[in-house]
Amino acid sequence: MSPYIGRFAPSPSGSLHFGSLVAALGSYLRARSLKGQWLLRMEDIDPPREVKGAADDILRTLEAFGLHWDGSVLYQSQRVDAYQQALNELLQHQQAYYCQCTRKMVREMGGIYNGRCRQHMISHGAIRLHNTQGVALFSDELKGEVKVDADFAEEDFIIKRSDGLYAYQLAVVLDDAHQGITEVVRGSDLLEATCRQLSLYQTLDLTAPKWLHLPLACTQPNFKLSKQNAATAVDVNPPQKSLSQALAFLGQPKVDLSGDIEIMLAQAVEQFRLDAITKENEILIG
């Protein structure tokens, strides 16, 4: 078996909140319990959503919790040449095409894009993948078999936005492949996105990783903690309390709170149990 390589990939759109800490901790525990690497990638390719200083703040917060990554941080903003090269190749092989349809037009199509621009000779606009794979089913290491709506799975989705920014789906696939990620551990809000990413992996003839989706921390049903929802920054004073709460959220055994954060984390790694994590997509918190 190849060595385990996991990762945590936050976007610098605000400080690390409790939901992000859960995702970071879950991916860290999984990687370290399997004697693997844990990499860090900063998904900084959406400047309109980014907050100045947030990237450095996230790094300091992870370090305060003892969540030390392997190697150097990969910044997506330094990878745009690779994204464009992949796009050029997809366009050249008629595996992608330009589209000028607006969100309103897609809503009028019933919410799923119908391939309207696929046969048109358009040279500008957003770029969509000609999705010939249509992956609708995958296996999750925690949840088991996951299936999404076939219409969604088969949709020609956007891989470069009309404003010139590279879409998440393209960047995350290319970066996970570039870093040799063997398993992606992240929140359950990205379950559907996994099928789109698998379609892109197959189109690009890349080896896909395994998947493990953790429950989301929600303040009410279908309302996850997020930077967009103005979630407050996780408390690092002291870090033991928030780390203990995140461990409990993941169903993990209690650890000794009186010790150093590094000792506490090492204990959590040693007694990590994947089967203790709920298979539910979300957990309501107070």
pLDDT of residue 232 exceeding 90:
no
Predicted TM-score (pTM) of the model is 0.93
Provide the Cα torsion 115, 121, 127, 130; round to 10°.
50
- Using the predicted structure, report yes or no on whether residue 205 has a pLDDT greater than 60: yes
Which CA distances in Å does 125 have to 33, 99, 255? 45, 5, 53
pLDDT for the residue numbered 223: 62
The whole domain housing 144 covers 5-284
Binding-site members are 7-11, 43, 99, 101, 113, 117, 168, 186, 227
pLDDT of 11 over the 70 cut: yes
Peptide bond into 238 cis (omega under 30): yes
**Model confidence band, residue 238 (pLDDT cutoffs 50, 70, 90):** confident
**Annotated binding residues for ATP, as ranges?**
227
The overall average pLDDT reported for the chain is 93
Is residue 101 within 8 Å of residue 71, measured between CB atoms?
A: no
pLDDT digits (tens, 9 = 90+) for 84-93: 999 999 999 9
Q: Name the amino acid, one letter, at 17.
A: H
Number of domains in the chain: 1
Packing angle of the helix pair 168-178, 80-92 (nearest 10 deg): 110
- Looking only at the bridges linking them, the beta strands covering 223-224 and 216-220 are antiparallel
Which region among 121-135, 162-176, 215-229, 241-255 has the lowest average model confidence (pLDDT)?
Answer: 215-229
Rounded-to-integer distance, Cα 257 and Cα 242, Å: 11
Strand positions, DSSP E, 61-177: 74-75, 96-99, 126-129, 137-140, 144-147, 158-160
Q: What is the pLDDT of residues 244-257, one digit of tens each?
A: 999 999 999 999 88
Annotated binding site for Zn(2+): 99, 101, 113, 117
What CATH number has the domain bearing residue 17?
Answer: 3.40.50.620
| pLDDT higher than 90, residue 133 | yes
Cite the annotated binding site for L-glutamate by residue number: 7-11, 43, 168, 186
